[in-house]
Amino acid sequence: MNFCPKCKSLLIPSSGKLKCSSCSYISKTKKKHEIKEKIENKKLEVINENTQYGDSTVPIVCWNCGHRGVYIKVNFHRSDEAPTRFYKCEKCKKVWRSSK
């Protein structure tokens, strides 16, 4: 990361130069700037008609048919990630997920 020598704000890459995010400073460097982002591979879980859900339903309304009663399955991930909840409607069998 590079910071502005005038106001100490973050310098943002723009048109081959670094521009200050707060003041009008533009870097005069000829260095090439590269932005890298590490992307983690996530485990993919296949949800189908054979997926095991709980035996009892919870009073959530199905967005597909309006029935009030869905089965729920919760998958836990790393400690810094929210669990993923899979819902399956008792009536129409529609499946959806939520990570909230």
Tell me which of 34, 37, 55, 80 is the catalytic residue: 80
Tell me which of 37, 40, 81, 90 is the catalytic residue: 81
Q: Is 81 a residue of the active site?
A: yes
Whole-number pLDDT of residue 91: 92
Whole-number pLDDT of residue 21: 83
Give yes or no: residues 64 and 85 share one domain: yes
pTM for this entry: 0.45
Tens digit of pLDDT for each residue in 32-64? 656 677 766 665 555 556 566 677 788 888 889
Whole-number pLDDT of residue 47: 56
User: In a 3-state reduction of DSSP, which class is residue 19?
Assistant: strand
Structurally, the chain folds into a number of domains equal to 2
Give yes or no: residues 86 and 57 share one domain: yes
Distance CA 84, CA 60 (A): 16
Give yes or no: residues 24 and 61 share one domain: no
Give yes or no: residues 21 and 53 share one domain: no
Mean pLDDT across the stretch 13-25? 84
Whole-number pLDDT of residue 65: 93
Distance CA 41, CA 26 (A): 37
Q: Is 45 a residue of the active site?
A: no
